[in-house]
Amino acid sequence: MNIVKDFSLTNYNTFHIDVKADYFCEIHSLEDLQELLSHNIFLNNNRLILGGGSNILFTSDFSGLVIKNSIKSIEEIHEDEHFVFVKAGAGVIWDELVNYCVNKNYGGIENLTYIPGTVGAAPIQNIGAYGAELKDVFYSLEGVVLKENKLKEFYKKDCYFGYRSSIFKNEYKNKIFISSVTLKLNKIPKINIEYSALKESAKNYKTEELTVAKISEIVKEIRKSKLPDPSEFGNAGSFFKNPEVDKETKERLENEFEDIISFNTDKDIYKIPAGWLIEKCGLKGFRLGNTGTYKKQALVIINFNNASGKEIYEFSNFIKDKVYNKFQIELETEVNVV
C-alpha cells in the first residue's frame, strides 16, 4: 500500500478533467485497506472512494485523500438447478464481469453491457439500461464501514434501491468501502427485449437466435451508435436522470407537445426522457466554448477541448435552466459532482 502526494487524476476520470488530489492510494485487498485505515493521512483528511471515474465530475483539485478501489476477482460461489451466484471484486471493470457471465450463458446482466465503471460502483448507482437494473440480479455486497472498521454484508432489502439510487449514494456515501458484489443469475436465461430500441433491433433475428450473447451484442451496438468513446471525447455518459412526473404534469405536457415521449413506471408516475427535453430546447449537438452536448445524444455532455470541471458544471446548469424555462421540469444530475 503506497500513498502518493499531489497525484494527477486526469487519467482516473472519463471527463479527463485535469485536477490533482493531495493524496492518492490504490487498494488491492482488504489487507491494504486495513493498513490504510490506521494511517494518519486517512485519519486526518477528507476522503473520496473512486471506482472507474466514469460517473464523476471534478470541479477543482481534491483537498484530501482519493482511494482507488482495485480489488479484482471473479468466482462462482454457489449454484443450484436454476441459479448461479457470481461474486466479483469491487475493482473489476463492470463490462469484464458482463462478458464473463455472457460467455458462461448466465442470464440477467446482458442488457447492462458496455456500461463504463467498476463492479463496486454498480450498486451505488443502481445502474440500469435497456429495461434492466442492477437490483434485478443483485444478491448481496460486502464492504467495510469505515467509521467502525467493520466488514458488513448488505442484502437486497438493506440497500433501498431506487432509480439510479441506493443507500450507498445517500446514508453511506463515502462511509463504506465496498469490497465485493454477489449477483444471482439465471442458468436458464429469460431474454428481456421490452425496451423499444432493443425490441426494434431484435426484429432482425429469429426467436431462437436471441441468446444472452446476441442480446449483449445488440445492446453494445446500440450504445456505440449513441454514445461517444471517452478516449475521443471526455464524458460520463448520461449526465442527467430522466425526470419523473405525475399524471397531471404528463397531461399538461401532452397538450403542449404532441410528440412527447413518456413511460409509465408506477401508478400515475411517468418518466420523461431527459434527452428529449434537452433536444426540444434546441441543445442537441450544441457547443459552448470547450464543452457541449453530443450530436447523437443530447443527454451526454462532452469535454471537447480541455474544459475545466467548472465549465462543464456551469454548462450543465445552463441546460437545467433552459429545460425548466420551457417545461417547468427540474433536471437532476446523475453524475457525482465533486
* Residue among 47, 54, 110, 164 flagged as catalytic: 164
Cβ–Cβ under 8 Å, residues 318 and 301: no
Would you state the CATH architecture of domain 74-226?
2-Layer Sandwich (3.30)
Q: Which segment of 5-9, 12-16, 244-248 scores lowest on mean pLDDT? A: 244-248
CB atoms within 10 A of CB 205: 14
> What's the pLDDT at 315?
98
- In the three-class reduction of DSSP (H, G, I as helix; E, B as strand; rest coil), residue 77 is classed as strand
Give the span between the Cα atoms of 127 and 1, in whole angstroms. Answer: 30
**What are the boundaries of each domain within the chain?**
3-69, 74-226, 244-337
Q: At what angle do helices 212-226 and 94-103 cross, to 10 degrees?
A: 150
The yes-or-no answer on residue 164 being catalytic is yes
Q: Which segment of 70-84, 181-195, 260-274 scores lowest on mean pLDDT? A: 260-274
Amino acid at 325: N
> What's the pLDDT at 209?
86
> What's the pLDDT at 46?
95
Give the span between the Cα atoms of 124 and 147, in whole angstroms. Answer: 19
Report the mean per-residue pLDDT for the chain: 94
> What's the pLDDT at 241?
94
CB atoms within 10 A of CB 246: 11
Give the span between the Cα atoms of 299 and 332, in whole angstroms. Answer: 12
| Residue for grid cell 470547450 | 290
Region 267-276: mean pLDDT is 90
- In the three-class reduction of DSSP (H, G, I as helix; E, B as strand; rest coil), residue 329 is classed as coil
* Residue among 26, 110, 142, 334 flagged as catalytic: 334
pLDDT tens digits for range 27-51: 999 999 999 999 999 999 999 999 9
> What's the pLDDT at 259?
87
| Fold (topology level) of 244-337 | 3.90.78
Region 77-96: mean pLDDT is 97
What are the grid coordinates assigned to 290, written together? 470547450
pLDDT at residue 294 is higher than 90? yes
Q: CATH assignment of 3-69?
A: 3.30.43.10
> What's the pLDDT at 229?
87
Cβ–Cβ under 8 Å, residues 272 and 245: yes
> What's the pLDDT at 226?
86
pLDDT tens digits for range 149-161: 999 999 999 999 9
pLDDT tens digits for range 90-143: 999 999 999 999 999 999 999 999 999 999 999 999 999 999 999 999 999 999
* Residue among 54, 201, 238, 316 flagged as catalytic: 238
> What's the pLDDT at 265?
77
